Amino acid sequence: MRTILYIIQKEFLQVFRNKSMLPIIFIVPVFQLIILVNAATYEMKHIRVSVVDLDLSGTSRKLVSKLQGSPFYQIEGTTFSYLKAEDEMKRGNIDMILHIPADFEKKLLKEGHAKVQFVINAINGQSAGLTNAYSTMILLDYNREVLLENATPAMMAGVKTIQTDYSYWYNPKLNYKTYMVPGILVLLITIIGLLLSGMNIVREMEIGTIEQINVTPINKIQFITGKLMPFWIIGLFELAFGLTIGKLLFNIPMEGSLGLIFLSASVYLFVILSFGLLISTITHTQQQAMLVSFFFMVVFILMSGLFTSIESMPLWAQNLDRLNPLMYFIKIMRMVLLKGSGFADISNYFWSMVIYAVCSLSLAIFRYRKVS
Amino acid sequence: MSVPSVHVQQLTKRFKDTLALDDISFDVGRGELFGFIGPDGAGKTSLFRILTTLLLADAGICTVEGFDVVKDYRQIRKISGYMPGKFSLYQDLTVEENLKFFATIFGTTIRENYDLVKEIYQQIEPFKNRKAGKLSGGMKQKLALSCAMIHKPEVLFLDEPTTGVDAVSRLEFWEMLKRLKASGITILVSTPYMDEASLCDRVALMQSGRIMTISTPQEVISNYPLSLLSVKSGDIYTLLGELREYPGVHSVYAFGQSAHVAYQKNDITPESLHFFLKSKGHKQVEIIETVANIEDCFMELMTSPMKE
């Protein structure tokens, strides 16, 4: 026990003596939180629109002004040539064309229906979908107004409308920041855990100190515990630090129990740290370890549900995602922080992580050998 | 030599297609200072790594203080000290922190075994708050030795401890080894420097994974089969080449300022050689009959099997 404690003490000494380590622990998280949370947002603002209004009637202008009044749109210009507008889109200057044909008002009043066209730049499918959804909503709203304006009371009686009202649960203001912060915190402790732990042991191999350690009577368990504990502590500290920043800067909700968050985090960190350890047993230099960690990290992060929803992935990818530790912990973080879920709600994810931790840790310990 | 401190029998180790150790056997007595001399790649490090339980052998039996290197590796790790050829202490920890770290993981303290390392450690103690990475080569080596000694080992394995260290520090280091030996510790040391061989009790000459000979330095010298001339001239570079052409010359090596010419007794007389060199235009030719030192012996031992 004294040996383990001393190894931990030594690791901390080395971590804090390393000049690049303190900024990594304290400054990087703040920056990542501030930059990523503000930048990685799904909210669509400033959709640049070019209006091709060939009708120029009161009715068509009303539609245009409705777009103008919305915070999401920004009218970049009006033109009478559809081709010109299309040219602008090709150059990437606008995101959407609103095309109103010449006989729009006439048709609407006489025949009761008319057509408008939205041409949306769909290079980014996700934002195109959102633009489409916003625009359709505006058009629906506009439709109802037109209908009410032109209808006689007799007609009104015949029209049955269903009023739809929305209320968004768990995130009533649809604030993306509160959604992103928990996920990005997971990202942070993953990077710290995976990179630092993996590289730490490989570094001992690189500078040869592992030889000197290996000839000592210290056993595998003592060595690994001594190696992992410091990063486990740093990881938990990092989470606390990140949560504090999240609370102070973004005022993220903390509906559930913080104890539950830290309990899950401590299990999650075991998964990540043993992953790092495993990587260190198959690599020989810090560079190799870094590259291998990066490979796993990119796959894990992109499939973690941080940026894209897991439910919309193909089924095979969803099944594959069961192997993704990030996915479990991001789910837990969001559920506990935003929804206030209790242990019963997250137990499925929690136990999955426990199994994961046990498996990866035993594999790492099994793989780590003092004798070559 | 009753029970050997280190016993190696028919040890073989193969790395893919190179034979690192080829059927090696030897015994080292308790309290002996045993040297392994050989060029790089002779298999010295592999042998040390097997004896310190870091590497598994393919075949053969090795015991250290009666413990088998495979079965009883735990015991061996407790009683042996190892100083790898590459400096492998924590460069970002201070001298004192390094020593304390190794003391702790061996389950002891600096104070407990201070007497043992005192003599060596005292020399670097003024720098105890300096980071190990900032030490000079000689000081690093003293620190490494202190760390390898702090748990009071019974057997000490020093893999090329003097490589990359200046001549004065090398001498000091060997002085320290002699004093350690006096306290009853068995020391196995490897070195590529042949002159260090004469400082050991016994030496094993290693080459290409084999032990060519094991004997005391005195025996090595007395078994030298050839006669030797030390030849000096103003132009040492052409001298070497021309000496090799001279009939009856067995081998020629540069040795400091002079050339050592080995020959079968009676094949060459100094007078005829002197005449030959004069005719080649050498000035200030000086030829002295000399006794073989350990380096001459090793040069001869190492080249002879190749000529067979």
Tally the domains of chain A: 2
Q: Average pLDDT, stretch A365-372?
A: 72
Per-residue pLDDT at A193 exceeds 90: no
> What is the token pair recorded at B46?
């592999």
Containing structural domain, residue A254: 2-40+175-367
Q: What is the mean pLDDT of residues A3-31?
A: 83
Contacts of A298 by beta carbon, 8 Å cutoff, 6+ apart = none
Q: What pLDDT, on a 0 to 100 scale, did the predictor assign at position B115?
A: 83
Structural domain boundaries, residue B80: 6-220
Band (pLDDT 50/70/90 cuts) for residue A152 is low
| pLDDT of amino acid A59 | 84
Q: What is the mean pLDDT of residues A36-41?
A: 75
pLDDT, averaged across chain A:
85
Q: How many domains does chain B have?
A: 2
Residue B180 pLDDT > 90: no
What letter represents residue A184's amino acid?
I
**Does A154 have pLDDT greater than 80?**
no
Element (H, E) at A329: helix A325-334
Calpha distance B306→A294 (Å, rounded)? 51
Examine the fold and report which residue of B220, B246, B269 is the final residue of a domain before the chain moves on: B220
> Do B17 and B151 belong together in one domain?
yes
CB contacts, 8 Å: B87 with chain A? 208
Q: Residue B204: is its pLDDT beyond 80?
A: yes
B206 & B71 share domain? yes
Q: What average pLDDT score do residues B223-244 get?
A: 82
| pLDDT given at position B305 | 56
Q: How far is CA B186 from CA B34, B162, B192, in A?
A: 8, 18, 20
Rounded Cα–Cα distance for residues B228 and B299 (Å): 13
Q: Are residues A332 and A237 in the same domain?
A: yes
Name the more confident of A197 and B7.
B7
User: Is there a single domain that holds both residue B242 and residue B131?
Assistant: no
Is residue A354's pLDDT more than 90?
yes
Q: What is the mean pLDDT of residues A339-351?
A: 90
Distance CA A196, CA A24 (A): 10
DSSP track, B195-238: GGGGGSSEEEEEETTEEEEEE-HHHHHHT--SEEEEEE-S-HHH
Is there a domain that residue A166 lies in? no
Q: Provide, for chain B, the percentages of residues in helix, strand and coil under a 3-state DSSP scheme, each rounded to the nearest 5.
A: 40, 30, 35
For A114-120, what is the mean pLDDT?
A: 88
- pLDDT for res A282: 86
Question: Is the pLDDT reported for residue A345 higher than 60?
Answer: yes
Q: Is residue A169 part of a domain?
A: no
Residue B307 has a pLDDT of 38
Residues B48 and B181 in one domain: yes
Q: What ipTM, to 2 d.p.?
A: 0.71
A217 and A117 part of one domain: no
A61 located within any domain: yes
Residue B95 confidence (pLDDT): 92
Tell me which residues of chain A, numbers 199 to 218, contact chain B at a CB-CB cutoff of 8 Å: 207-218
> Which residue's entry shows tokens 């380096």?
B295
Q: A103 or A174, which is more confident?
A: A103
Do residues A153 and A301 both lie within one domain?
Answer: no
| Mean pLDDT, range A250-263, rounded to an integer | 90
Q: Are residues B103 and B155 in the same domain?
A: yes
Q: B82 and A370: CB-CB below 8 Å?
A: no
How far apart CA A12 and CA A23 sit, in angstroms, is 15
The order of strands in the sheet holding B67-68 is: B18-28, B6-15, B59-64, B67-68
Interface test mutation site (partner A, options B101, B140, B155, max chain A beta carbons within 10 A): B101
Whether residue A197 is found in the same domain as residue A63:
no
The sign of the torsion formed by the CA atoms of A286, A288, A291, A293 equals negative
The Cα–Cα gap between B161 and B141 comes to: 7
Q: What percent of chain A has pLDDT over 70?
A: 93
Question: pLDDT tens across B31-42, in order?
Answer: 899 999 888 888
Say if residue A190 is in the same domain as residue A97.
no
| Strand pairing class (B249-255; B258-263) | antiparallel
User: Which member of A2, A14, A371 has the closest CB to residue B104?
Assistant: A2
* Distance, CA of A38 to CA of A34 (rounded, Å): 6
Q: Which of A63-67, A147-151, B179-183 has the lowest mean pLDDT?
A: A147-151
pLDDT tens, residue by residue, B105-156 = 888 888 888 888 888 888 888 998 999 888 888 888 889 988 988 888 999 9
d(CA A283, CA B87): 21
Closest CA to B132 of B162, B89, B165: B89
pLDDT for residue B308: 36
- Interval A118-123 mean pLDDT: 88
Residue given tokens 């590529």 in the structure block: B192
Q: Does A271 have pLDDT greater than 90?
A: yes
pLDDT in tens, A234-243: 999 999 999 9
Residues of chain A with Cβ-Cβ distance to B86 below 8 Å are 208, 211
At residue B122, the pLDDT reads: 87
Nearest-angstrom CA–CA distance, A146 and A12: 70
Strands (DSSP E) contained in chain A are: 47-53, 73-79, 96-100, 117-120
Assess whether pLDDT exceeds 60 at residue A368: yes
Q: Are residues A31 and A55 in the same domain?
A: no
Residue of A21, A216, A223 to mutate when probing chain B, most B C-beta within 10 A: A216
- Residues of B whose CB is below 8 A from A6: 101, 104-105
Number of residues that make up chain A: 372
Measure the N-to-C terminal CA separation of chain B; round to a whole number of Å: 35
Residue B188 has pLDDT above 90, yes or no: yes
Domain match, B274 and B145 both: no
Residue A164: helix, strand or coil by DSSP? Answer: coil
Domain annotation covers residue A170: no
